[in-house]
Amino acid sequence: MIEVDNLSKTFKVYHHRKGFFGSFANLFSRKHRVVQAVDSISFTVERGEIVGYLGPNGAGKSTTIKMLTGILVPTSGSVTVNGYIPHRQRKENAKHIGVVFGQRSHLWFDLPVEESFELLQRIYGIPETQYRYNVETFDELLSIGDFFRTPVRQLSLGQRMRADIAAALLHNPDVLFLDEPTIGLDVVAKARIRQFIQKINAERQVTVVLTTHDLDDVEKLCKRVILIDNARLRFDGELVTLRRLLSTERILSVDYAEAYPDVSIPSAHIVYQEEARVQYRFSPEEISTADLIGVILQRFKIVDISVQEPDIEELIKTVYEDNLTLERKLTEPISSNTQAN
């Protein structure tokens, strides 16, 4: 579906001399420096995947997406989307992808949503039957009918984002690129858009590449994440694997059936205890979650039990601040206890 091989992109940033004579000199010679925006990254995204493409500002996320959509030409390496080379086959590629930029609408500002949709229908050559079916489906899932005849400039941010996502899917694309789709939205609007993305992905097998700083989006939508920092790929794998590689301790909360006198467990340290409620801190490298729960169930009767997973924001922050540690861990064998989690 998406194949990226050793992809790189550099930009020349020119130095402008000041003053009249400096401006005159710029006409004949200009000094510049080369900025490496993307540096030799490779990954593959299969049909139907939802992948989080994450990184701090300036890491190279937007540059990568622009190469995948054909807006930018790679300096070196190769990329194909649905078998098309995006920058060489832009029209063919555009028919099979949808793109949503959270801070920039691709609808016509002064036109009602309905007329913007009709223009997109003509641009993409969408058959009337398909167009009507999609509009009705998106209205059912996103309630776009509530503002369908309202000019785009009068929409709230949540309404505009719902309209933008629906517009990007009118032509039944195989791949959907989402850049900050929930930025600035309230909790209810975010939940609605996430549910819509999940439903479209499940029913239509639309491949989704999501770039976001809202890590709740990642938690709710993505099983796999790709982390990029300083133009280089730092991690590519499942979110649970990232947690396993970087987390050293977890918290297990247990509500016992009664206040037992001794609830100490080997390889786990009690960090909180009040009557029948106890919290243990433990390292997955010493004892797996399954083994720890097994020991507790063998010795005591419990009412409730839960595991507090490491916060994804802290994990990703660790990657950005200490990528050498992550690269070392990625090459280390995983112990049997860790694999059991």
Single-letter amino acid code for the residue at 17: R
Q: Which CATH superfamily is domain 42-241 in?
A: P-loop containing nucleotide triphosphate hydrolases (3.40.50.300)
d(CA 32, CA 136): 53
Domain ranges of the chain: 42-241, 248-308
Six-digit token string for 246: 């970087």
Strand bridging mode 302-308 / 250-256: antiparallel
Rg (CA), the chain: 25
pLDDT in tens, 135-153: 999 999 999 999 999 999 9
Q: Across-strand partners of 177? A: 99, 209
Residue 216 has pLDDT above 60, yes or no: yes
pLDDT in tens, 296-340: 999 999 999 998 866 666 667 766 666 544 544 544 443 333 333
Beta carbons within 10 angstroms of residue 66's beta carbon:
20
Angle between helical axes of 157-168 and 187-204 (0-180°, round to 10): 10
Q: Tell me which residue has tokens 């579906």.
A: 1
Categorise residue 13: left if φ over 0, alpha if ψ from -120 to 50, beta otherwise: beta
pLDDT in tens, 180-200: 888 878 888 888 899 999 999
Categorise residue 232: left if φ over 0, alpha if ψ from -120 to 50, beta otherwise: beta
User: Sign of the C-alpha dihedral, residues 316, 36, 69, 187?
Assistant: positive
